[in-house]
Chain A
Amino acid sequence: MVEALLDFSHWSRIYDFLNSSWGWPTIESLHFIGLSLLIGTVGLFDLRMIGLAKGIPMSALHRLVPWGIAGYGLNVLTGFMFVSTAPDQYLFNPAFQTKLALMVIAGINVLFFYRFQFDRVKRAGAKASAQRGAKIAAAVSLTCWIGVIVCGRLITYYRPPYYWCFWC
């Protein structure tokens, strides 16, 4: 896994770019801008469902969510660039493993929300509260994404030895 990722990073020149003098901070900046897009759109939509800023129709606020999805896509791309360039620093890193687990939970939560809750949220009035199921989904979403950011920051402060990998 480590070798396959590294091979790809070398082959695609991502490795050379990230190891150039401005490469890493440039891609990191894009990663942070992506997270701001996600929190600024999906995060505010979650807060509205929990009960903040009543008066803004939830269906109207939801129109910003594609910008959050764009931020998410940007971050998957830039995140993959980091992982493929220094796979040993990520794959065996408990902060990274926790981050991925939270992303999986957030992903399942997205499926649950759009399958079972979104229709009612979309039809709710401007001043209405969201139903309980949607509130729970919003709280799970906020918790997961804040946790993802915290774990992302913590990755830098762990330099794990390879034997921390529990599946190898």
Chain B
Amino acid sequence: MGFVVGVHVATNLRILGMAPGIPLSLMRRFSSVFWVSLVFVSLSGVLLLIAYPAKALTNPVFYLKLSAIVMALFITRSLAKGVLQDPSYDVGPPPRQARVLATVSIFLWAGAVTSGRFLAYTYKILMASHQY
């Protein structure tokens, strides 16, 4: 999680104008870190889901978390195909639309982390077998 969110933190901060000396298009070289970490969190997430399916599936917060992640990943794709591919933005500020997307992305990742933490405290059912 640290690296999945972390790579986005760094890329989005750069899009928003921090550390302007970093050539923006080269931030893509960290995408392998992001993909490898995404595989790790997805696999461990699926394992946790298999272990306690009722706990997550009956909790609306779980769907909030998943939608935040999916929306954030759409932004990642859009930025990767847009400003991150265009070396003309290596120096100077990227267009306004990219900066808006970067801001939304930061909030979506923060929301995904927050809903993930709340999942451990807001569930109503731990195991379906406890219902009978």
Contact = CB atoms under 8 A, between A and B. Distances in A.
Interface size class of B (residues with CB under 8 A): 20 to 34
A67 B33 contact: no
B33 A57 contact: no
A25 B110 contact: no
B6 A67 contact: no
Interface size class of A (residues with CB under 8 A): 20 to 34
Interface in A108-162: 126, 145-146, 149
Interface stretch (B13-21, B78-86, B124-132): B13-21
B19 A44 contact: no
Interface stretch (A1-9, A26-34, A87-95, A98-106): A26-34
A77 interface: no
B97 to A, nearest CB: 23
Nearest to A23: B121
Interface of A is mostly: helix
Nearest to A53: B29
Interface string B10-33: 100110001111110011011011
Given A25-B117, A55-B23, A64 B2 contact: no
B1 A32 contact: yes
B7 interface: yes
B6 A44 contact: yes
Contact of A60 (B2, B5, B22, B29): B22
B29 A44 contact: no
B58 interface: no
A44 B5 contact: no
Nearest to A35: B2
A59 B20 CA distance: 11
A146 B118 CA distance: 23
A29 B118 contact: yes
Given A25-B118, A39-B3, A40-B9, 14 more contacts: A25-B122, A32-B114, A32-B117, A33-B114, A36-B2, A36-B5, A40-B3, A40-B5, A41-B9, A41-B13, A56-B26, A56-B27, A56-B29, A63-B19
Interface of A: 22, 24-26, 28-29, 32-33, 35-41, 43-44, 47, 52-57, 59-61, 63-64, 67, 126, 145-146, 149
